[in-house]
Structure 1
Amino acid sequence: MPIPESCFGCGRCCVRTSPDFDVLVEAGDPVPVELTEEIAGLRWMRRRGDQACIALDAVTRLCTIYDRRPQGCRELQRGDPECARACDPRPP
């Protein structure tokens, strides 16, 4: 699947189930604590039952906490290797 022209409404990086796409919530990230879970002493973004990020709106495919998203999400850019992997239709 090609990389989209825009990230707006894509959400592919938010629905991949590979550990590569687990998002660490760092100290200082303004993420609401109820959207995170603690694993091995670290805070991570929770996932829905379908393994998509808990903050991804399933209908609009937009981030519901965009202005407060974790640093890891802020750093991901369209066309990055992680983006290309998220757009790859093969299982992670």
Structure 2
Amino acid sequence: MDKKNALRAGALAAGTTLMMLLMSSPASALVRDDGDDPGPGLSVIETLGLYVIAPIALFAVIAGLVMVLDRSQEKHRVTSTNIKTKANAQSKA
């Protein structure tokens, strides 16, 4: 029964995707709208800086601030040095 449901879900997803592709109109990038005044395009370096380097740098800054400003106590952190186990476990016989 699992294969039948998976096949039905796959067919539904494929059909929905196909219908959306067929019903969508192509982008008209060559035809300008009234009042459209695009600025100059971005170079490859500017594009990489804006969409790759800037998000990575922002992530690094936020992660660094979280680590530096972490004020939790050492005893609350789970590390291999503060895990306590019962040394004298008694077995019931």
TM class by smaller structure: under 0.3
Q: Pick the structure with greater CA Rg.
A: 2
Q: Give the number of the structure whose residues are more often helix, by fraction.
A: 2
| TM-score normalised by structure 1 residue count | 0.18
| TM-score normalised by structure 2 residue count | 0.18
Q: Give the number of the structure whose residues are more often strand, by fraction.
A: 1
